[in-house]
């Protein structure tokens, strides 16, 4: 099993643990739109060169696009249309799938890890001075990206299970929110919901036994430095 994506893909570290057949190839700050470019094609090929072609591959992107890039676009465009985020992100995911299929991989799924928890403005200001977007706007944008992607490739979609869209709320339900402010869900609290979908896939790895019951420290590794060095992130799953 191979997890490729931004930091939300750390969810799979919790689900599969330190299984030698689980390969974490995720990195902080990795956007879906960036996957359109040739340098990312080469990085994907390098990162998966020695991995088994019969592995299940999860592409886990979108948070960087909907939560961070959208904020920067709002500063540059008076009217920030959703298509400025969604279309390039979907194109990037489709290109990544094409590159991986050319490498011989056939079991490729997109897994969106979210939605966004409600967060104070002070949380976002520590990342940049870009204009703050309402949580609901970012959540709605992420949801639109999920649905658009599903038109083009297999998607594991748990958005409605983790939010209250029926009542117009596109953010994470409170019971799945981390104790400390974070733009990811609490991986321990949501792992059962994701596993209920993943376990139906043919040839999926067994779940970690016993499951994690507490979060452990996150070890950051940014895509920029990893790509420049031609490396994948250090293995930090437990």
Please give the chain's pLDDT, 238 residues, in tens. Answer: 999 999 999 999 999 999 999 999 999 999 999 999 999 999 999 999 999 999 999 999 999 999 999 988 877 666 568 899 999 999 999 999 999 999 999 999 999 999 999 999 889 988 888 888 899 999 999 999 999 999 999 999 999 999 999 999 999 999 999 999 999 999 999 999 999 999 999 999 999 999 999 999 999 999 999 999 999 999 999 9
What phi-psi label fits residue 17: left (phi over 0), alpha (psi between -120 and 50 degrees) or beta?
A: left
Q: In the prediction, which pLDDT does 78 show?
A: 60
Strand-pairing partners, residue 26, are 5
Domain count of the fold of the chain: 1
d(CA 121, CA 191): 27
- DSSP character for 74? H
Q: Is residue 234 one of the residues assigned to a domain? A: no
Give Cα separations from 20 to 59, 205, 226, 237 (angstroms): 19, 10, 21, 10
Strands of 23-26's sheet, edge to edge? 23-26, 2-5, 56-60, 107-111, 155-156
Q: Is residue 235 one of the residues assigned to a domain? A: no
Q: In the prediction, which pLDDT does 79 show?
A: 59
Q: In the prediction, which pLDDT does 148 show?
A: 97
Q: What are phi and psi of 226, to 5 degrees?
A: -65, -45
Q: Is residue 18 one of the residues assigned to a domain? A: yes
Closest listed residue to residue 110, CA positions, set 148, 68, 66, 164: 148
Question: How many residues does the structure list for the chain?
Answer: 238
CATH number reported for the structural domain that contains residue 132 in this entry? 3.40.50
Residue 156 lies in domain: 2-229
Q: In the prediction, which pLDDT does 138 show?
A: 94
Are 60 and 3 contacting, i.e. CB atoms less than 8 angstroms apart?
yes
pTM of the complete model: 0.96
Q: In the prediction, which pLDDT does 132 show?
A: 81
Q: Is residue 236 one of the residues assigned to a domain? A: no
Helix 83-102 vs helix 38-48: crossing angle, to nearest 10: 40
Which residue reads 């969810």 in tokens? Answer: 11
- DSSP character for 40? H
Q: Is residue 182 one of the residues assigned to a domain? A: yes
Q: Is residue 186 one of the residues assigned to a domain? A: yes
Q: Is residue 28 one of the residues assigned to a domain? A: yes
Q: Is residue 108 one of the residues assigned to a domain? A: yes
Tally of CA atoms within 13 A in the half-sphere of 22 that contains its CB: 23
What phi-psi label fits residue 138: left (phi over 0), alpha (psi between -120 and 50 degrees) or beta?
A: alpha
């Amino acid at each position: 099993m191979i997890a490729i994506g931004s930091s939300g893909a750390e969810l799979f570290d919790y689900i599969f643990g330190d299984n030698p057949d689980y390969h974490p190839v995720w990195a902080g700050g990795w956007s879906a739109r960036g996957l359109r470019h040739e340098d990312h094609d080469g990085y994907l090929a390098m990162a998966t060169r020695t991995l088994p072609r019969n592995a299940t591959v999860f592409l886990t992107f979108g948070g960087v696009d909907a939560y961070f890039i959208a904020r920067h676009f709002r500063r540059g465009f008076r009217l920030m249309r959703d298509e400025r985020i969604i279309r390039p992100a979907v194109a990037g995911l489709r290109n990544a799938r094409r590159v991986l299929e050319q490498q011989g991989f056939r079991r490729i799924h997109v897994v969106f890890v979210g939605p966004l928890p409600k967060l104070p403005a002070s949380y976002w200001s520590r990342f940049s001075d870009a204009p703050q977007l309402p949580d609901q706007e970012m959540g709605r944008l992420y949801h639109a990206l999920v649905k658009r992607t599903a038109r083009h490739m297999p998607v594991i979609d748990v958005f409605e299970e983790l939010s209250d869209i029926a009542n117009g709320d596109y953010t994470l339900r409170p019971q799945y929110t981390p104790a400390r402010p974070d733009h990811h869900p609490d991986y321990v609290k949501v792992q059962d919901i994701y596993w209920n979908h993943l376990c139906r896939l043919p040839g999926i790895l067994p779940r970690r036994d016993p499951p994690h019951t507490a979060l452990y420290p996150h070890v950051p590794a940014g895509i920029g430095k990893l790509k420049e060095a031609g490396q994948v992130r250090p293995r930090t799953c437990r």
